[in-house]
Structure 1
Amino acid sequence: MKIIHLNTYAGNGGAGRACMRLNNALKAEGVDSVLAVNFLFRDNPEVENLSKGIFSKWFTAAGIIMERMTAKLFSKNVPIPFSFPVWGRDISNLKLLRSADIIHLHWINHAFLRPEDIAGLSNLNKPIVWTFHDSNAFTGGCHVRYDCDHFLKECGNCPILKYPGADDSSHRIWKRKFKAYSKLNLNIVAPSRWMADSVRKSSLLGSVDLVNIPNTLDTSVFKPSEKVDARKKLGLNTEKFLLMSGFMPSRKDMHKGTSYLKEAIELFIKNHQISPDSIELIVFGNRDEKNVPDFPIATTFLGTISDDEKLALCYSAADVFLAPSLEDNLPNTVLESLACGTPVAAFTTGGIPDMVSHKHNGYLAEYKSSADLAAGIAWIYKEANRAELNLHARKTVENYFSEQIIANKHIELYKSLLNKHVSA
């Protein structure tokens, strides 16, 4: 069978990395699997570029820019992404898609597939699988919902928009999605139980066939390295207790919980009588280290790391990975850290409890409690047998998230859909 994966980007962002990893895992199991993207930042022979040529690339880039500008123009100044599906493309006539047995959608925003373009795929008469990497597919436009429950009905009166109302942009987008989805025989993959529960509650897709299959990663790359050696290679202190966290876009960032991280470190020092000189924070993925909080301990910024082998060394070098996200589906950083044998301290939210078992391979703190997150850091800091804790972290990934396990779960889904399609 031939599977075509569709994503806006290749390797950019959590969804881009997740679909590339799945594509590679499927190919390792002998599946004819192809990843096609709408915009390719740099040449990649393993990815099919749907915007080939100078004109096509610039036209696609213009659409991406225009969509993001529209979001800024009509959304409030809040750190919650919102997509206006104004620009996109009809790809239903592409030879590549006609050759597929199954079309597998991933993250298709930023001027790639509008609701109408997704509906157009029904003309191909092929099973369609869609992995939800965030909440956008079943909302009126937002990608992160927090405590908003408007997706349970028909959206409208959106708290993100500058001009909310009963028939605002979020409601009109919801109606476009409702009309488009009614033409499709969708099969949804939810990477986390939290995402699965959210979809089942939604007014748009609550009755659609759904299966919970996690993301995967390359366990031959993301693997434990000897901690001292990893630190020496990265030029990090070999004596201190190292905290690690990733991607801090700004002081105002809400989605990744930067303010809670800062407060948790302060409380860890204060409540547990820890010398600030004995610990250090390592941050990777930051785009602008001038625009991050002033942490109460020595902090090393490693910048954006695009090389997975170096990233794996970073996780191995740390004593604990901190994930203070306030809403996350199945964050790659948590999975990567565990694969490298480094325990995780995180809030109990989203899909994180699918990966972190409390006081087994990490610590699940009470949601939005900086004090409990600090207690989690302290629990790992004081753990007498960290080697066993590290082993539990690695075993979690090997037993539940390895490439072979996740690829075979997808293969089982694909086969069942093809069998239904043939008998229909």
Structure 2
Amino acid sequence: MKIIHLNTYAGNGGAGRACMRLNKALKAEGVESVLAVNFLFRDNPEVENLSKGFFSKWFSAAGIILERMTAKLFSKNVPIPFSFPIWGKDISGNKLLKSADIIHLHWINHAFLRPEDIARLANLNKPIVWTFHDSNAFTGGCHVRYDCDHFMKECGDCPVLKYSGVDDSSHRIWKRKLKAYSKLNLNIIAPSKWMAESVKKSSLLASADLVNIPNTLDTAVFKPSEKLEARKKLGLNPDKFLLMSGFMPSRKDLHKGTTYLKEAIELFINNHKISPDSIELIVFGNRDEKNVPAFPIQATFLGTISDDEQLALCYSAADAFLAPSLEDNLPNTVMESLACGTPVIAFTTGGIPDMVSHKYNGYLAEYKSSPDLAAGIFWLYKEANRPELNVHARQTVEAHFSEQIIAQKHIELYKSLLDKHV
């Protein structure tokens, strides 16, 4: 059984990390699994590059830039990423795909696979699996939906586009996807129950075969370290109550909820008369220090952490990980934190409740409620049995999201599809 995974990037963003981890987990179980990407920022011997050579690489890079420029030109200044599938490539003749038994799609935007390119894969007569890392596959272009229900109809009158109307770009993209999907027998993987429910509500894929299989991670890397030792290695104060969070760089990533995080910390400090000097916020991510908002407590900016072992050490050093996302499928950061034995305080949204159980391994706050997020911080600070929470956090990942468990679920799906395909 040979599986070919397709993603735009390797290790970049949540989808890139998720598919690389799945690829590794499948290999560990003896599956012949290959990850191929449209664009490699740096050479990686574990990944096949579909844009080899100088001209191919820069052609792909130009497509990525043009797609992002188009989105900026035709989208309103709102925190919702939108993709215009104008540029892409036909890879149906690629030798890797022809040699595979199953084609497994992941995140394929940014000038990689347009709806028509996906439809051409049907010519290979192989089962096609598609993991939805965001909502784009079943919308007219947006990746984050918030409370928009247009995906349940035929899109159009898009609140993201500058030039909106019944037959706007979102509706035309929706029609292209409808035509493409009609040629395919898609087998969808929804990493979260929330994503599965969303797909079932969509007008494009409500009747498609669907299964809920979470993402995984390397539990041998993301594991608990002794808290004081982790702080010592990172040069962090051993006596402070340490909160951890991550930021993204773009105005299009405001769904990460930074504003609510800032408000919650302010309320936590002010309502409970907490000394700001006793609390510290650890920030990681690829936002530069100039763009980090001012917090009422000390904020230590760690920058981009590309080494997973270093990142695991950061999670272990913290007392809690704050995830104020307003919409997220199955965020890697939440799973990583739990795997390191660090409880998570988050809004009740997306796939987060699949991982965080209220007051068992973290705190689920009311959606968009800064006061309840602050209450969660205070609960962990003053009332919770932290050692017990730490144990529960790790146990949750071992029981439900370990690489062996998730790999086996994928293998069972692959085998069932091949049995049907014979």
TM-score tier by shorter-chain length is over 0.9
Distance in 2 (alpha carbons) for counterparts of 1:18 and 1:2 = 19
Which amino acid counterpart does residue 25 of structure 1 have in structure 2? A
| 1:259-303 C-alpha deviation (Å, 9 max, x unpaired) | 000000001111222111100000000422201210000000000
Amino acid at match of 2:279: I
What does residue 346 of structure 1 align with?
346
Equivalent residue runs for 1:136-155 within 5 Å: 136-155=136-155
1:4-403 equivalences in 2 (<5 Å):
4-249=4-249, 253-383=253-383, 385-403=385-403
Question: In 2, Cα distance between the equivalents of 1:384 and 1:80?
Answer: 36
Cα shift at 1:252: 8.3
Structure 1 residues 2 and 252, CA, compared in 2 at 3 Å: closer, same or farther? closer
CA offset digits 1:208-253 (Å, max 9, x no partner): 0000000000000000000011011111111100000002436885
TM-score norm. by structure 1 comes to 0.98
CA distance in structure 1 between the partners assigned to 2:128 and 2:181 by the alignment: 11
* CA–CA separation in structure 2 for the residues paired with 1:283 and 1:33: 35
Task: Supply the distance in 2 between the matched residues of 1:206 and 1:415 (Cα, whole angstroms).
Answer: 24
Partner SS state of residue 316, structure 2:
helix
1:35-94 Cα deviation digits (max 9, x unpaired)? 000000000000000000111100100000000000011111112100000000000000
1:254 Cα offset (Å): 2.3
Contact 2:80–2:252 (8 Å) recurs in 1: no
State the shift of 1:169 in Å: 0.2
Partner Cα separation in structure 2 for residue 250 and residue 85 of structure 1: 20
Structure 2 CA distance for partners of 1:94 and 1:55, relative to 1, 3 Å? same
- Cα distance change, pair 62–114 in 1 and its aligned pair in 2 (3 A): same
Q: Distance in 1 between matches of 2:358 and 2:214?
A: 19
Query: Does the 8 Å CA contact 2:5/2:106 hold for their aligned counterparts?
Result: yes
Post-superposition offset of 1:383: 3.5
Q: Which one is further off, 281-290 or 316-325? A: 281-290
Structure 2, unaligned runs of 5 or more: none
3-state SS, counterpart of residue 281 of structure 1:
strand
Count of residues paired in the alignment = 422
Q: Tell me the SS of whatever aligns to 1:363.
A: strand
State the identity %. 88
TM-score for both structures, normalised by structure 2: 0.99
Letter in 2 for 1:8: T
Distance 1:130 1:344 in 2: 29
- Unpaired stretches in structure 1, ≥5 consecutive residues: none
Structure-2 separation of matches of 1:42 and 1:198: 35
- Give the Cα separation in 1 of the matches to 2:200 and 2:378: 37
